[in-house]
Structure 1
Amino acid sequence: VELVFFDAEDSGYYEGWSWIVGSTHYVAELPPERRSTIRAMVLLDMVGDANLQLKRELSSTRSLQDQVWSIAASLGHDDVFLSSYGGSIIDDHRPFLDCGIPALDIIQHDPFPWYWHTLEDTPDKCAAGSLEAVGRVIEAFVAQTAHQSTTFEPDGLSAGPVVLTLAIAAPVLVAVLYLRCRRPGHK
């Protein structure tokens, strides 16, 4: 499992600024032999909203999305991971898809929260419960797939067999680690 924190994903609507700069650079720097070892990329973006509802993102690799959504349902989080589809998002998973790596964008969209890209987009809009739900689903996904030879066929392409790459937002990682440390009996 590899955690990657991308920078320069979204600069808003400033003319002359590109989108998904960090992930595009990361993928461009991957040697071909390394690319072939990446089993999947899971992107967590905007997953802390107090009223979190995650629709399926249309450009994500379907087999990968199906497995994560199935895990969410088995953990009782189908109120967060909805079975309905949203739109197709230009996000940090796109460069991975473009080079044949299965990728999943877990993002609140369609619609985006009303405060997105405004001065009202502040930490008080986040909820520990939402971060915990997403964190537990991803934790179960990693536990289920990290030591197996599961592959996720990219829609229309072939997949490599070895490494699972997770691109994860810092708040989710911090929340999961915090919650694990808070468990009774954890030292």
Structure 2
Amino acid sequence: LFFWQWADGLRGLVIGTVVFFTAFNLLEASLPSLVSKVSPAGGKGTAMGVYSTSQFLGAALGGILGGWLFQHGGLNMVFLGCAVLCAIWLVVALRMNEPPYVTSLRMPLTPEAVREAGLTERLMAVPGVTDAVVVEEESAIYIKLDTKILDRTTLERLVNPASSACEA
């Protein structure tokens, strides 16, 4: 809307560009983190792949839609079309819940721990653990936890009790 109203002068163009790219860089850095936080422990790679694909499809479709709007309504129509898309996104974003403040960890597992049947369920019962998944092929467990409730040392003892006892 700013560009629609004041982009015909150099001052408006410079101010609008600085504000736009400041917000753009903030989103460009924070959205991947948001996707990572809300994705399941074992599905972060898939979620990031879907995010990247959506990002590039959006850039392609945005160029196509912007060109179509410019062809049929001029530059002001492009700015108004972007404003409509921003308003739609604002409505969606206002309804989103704040993501949990969790940390993702990948911890190696001993062969015994990999074969342990109830490891994931035992960890999910621990306060502070929000998600856990064992990946046998990697001999590892992916865990999401709230570090304010549970520390890594306690978690290591729960994941590999035999190796923690040997170290102590």
TM-score, scaled to structure 2: 0.26
Say which structure, 1 or 2, has more relative contact order (CA 8 Å, 6+ apart): 1
More strand by share: 1
Task: Name the larger-Rg structure.
Answer: 2
TM-score, scaled to structure 1: 0.24
More helix by share: 2
